[in-house]
Structure 1
Amino acid sequence: MKVMIETDRPVALVTGGGGDLGRAIALRLARTCAAVAIVDIDERSADATARLVEAAGCKSVAIRADVSSPHETAAFVDAVEGTLGPIGIFANNAGIEGVVAPLHEYPDEIFDRLLAVNVKGVFLGLKHVLAKMTPRGRGAIVNTASTSAIRGRAGLAGYVASKHAVLGLTRTAALEVVGTRIRVNAVLPGPIESRMIRNLDDQAGRNASGLRRSGSARYGKPENIADVVAFLASDDASHVNGAAWVVDAGMTVP
């Protein structure tokens, strides 16, 4: 059923919206958006986020999709525009972490899956959303990268390679939209309280020791990242394009 949104407030799309960070982003965007569409490969998690967004007073739909699939990505972008209206904000957030292992022992199939989700998924999201935004000449896209996009991390070959690629895609897309009112930026979270970082910590067996040796005394919260995403997606950041916003409490300061 078509439920077009009649308002000046934008429609937002959040991929990976069933995870800890995606859920925080969706709830933050719900404060300023007319509707927030949630995409995740985990249908139950997507539905749970959509219910929270609606409980916050914002229209929402949940869509189960694999962002690494060209067909499914094209379909969910069309579905969002067909039900809610033109996508004005795209949080290109879906991603996976892989395993912790030395590069010479890193499983080929896990490396391939990381590139499929974290790189091809981001590429496909950009491709299909920009195809909608470009004729309108307006919109904001925020790709979720990581501080692993600007540094190496032992044992995380697949994740690090994929996040470096996300930053490259962000910069390429940003150059291609120069002269329009479309902006493409990236947010680079440090470790945040989430299932993903807990899994990596458990695999590495070091818990928060890496943080204690850094400029950060604690993990960040998903809401810390969501606030920056909301800013980059807002008109307050109208002159920000192609930027890599590090959000890590100083962890990567030289």
Structure 2
Amino acid sequence: MTHTIIYLLIAALLSGMAGYSGMRALQHGHRSRWTVAWMLFSFIAQCAALGIRGELRGQCPLSDLGEILVFLAWSMTIFYLLIGSTYRLSLLGVFSAPVVSVMLWVSVLPGVMDPKPEKAITVEPWYEMHAALSVLSYGALGLAAIAGVMFMVLNKMLKAREVKSGLFLKFPPVSSITASMVRLTGVGTLVLSGGVFCGLLMPHEAGGSMAHFWAAVAVWVAYTTLLTIWQVRGMTPSRMALSVVTLFLVSLVVFAVL
């Protein structure tokens, strides 16, 4: 078993512990103080795994599905650690930790990650920046989608008048969830803008790289349009939440089939 797999298994277990401790705390009606700590330790293990893969590749480790999943999990974790506490969304860890854990578990399955990656002879810096920023943006956009799911769960509980459950009492206010959902979408779109800009500067050659570039442009246009409608015309939070979740899932499917 390679050091990369060991670190990823540790990271998957730690993020799983984060989700478990958070759910246990909710069942007992109190706030978990360990969710952020477990996610922080998971983040450190993810950094170690990505560092090893980067040394093996001689470039940003985004050359196979396993590396992309790890990078995406890393991105979601770092945005949660930065934004989850800032906007009083510690409960976001309960929702995001299982997603991160699943990504890491899938990345270590046989055949998902190249066990013997070839080291790059030449590195195209603009392509590297385009790929890294594009995947990094999905960390924020993924958390925005999770915040959207939180909003829909809370909205459903309000309509059903389930206001005495432990889960409801631990939810942040609707306004905080909505604000964080919009902010995370904005941050993700901004980072994706950097990825698209770097894509414009990389060599334009036919092939998979250009297909991913145009897919990134399409996703950027979709999110920019959504944010513009929210700011200019206005949109109900429920519709915004549904749009953010749907757009994220559709964009994942687009990249998966390319």
Q: Which bin holds the TM-score, normalised by the shorter protein?
A: 0.3 to 0.5
Rg bigger for which structure? 2
Higher strand share: 1
Higher helix share: 2
**TM-score normalized by the length of structure 1:** 0.34
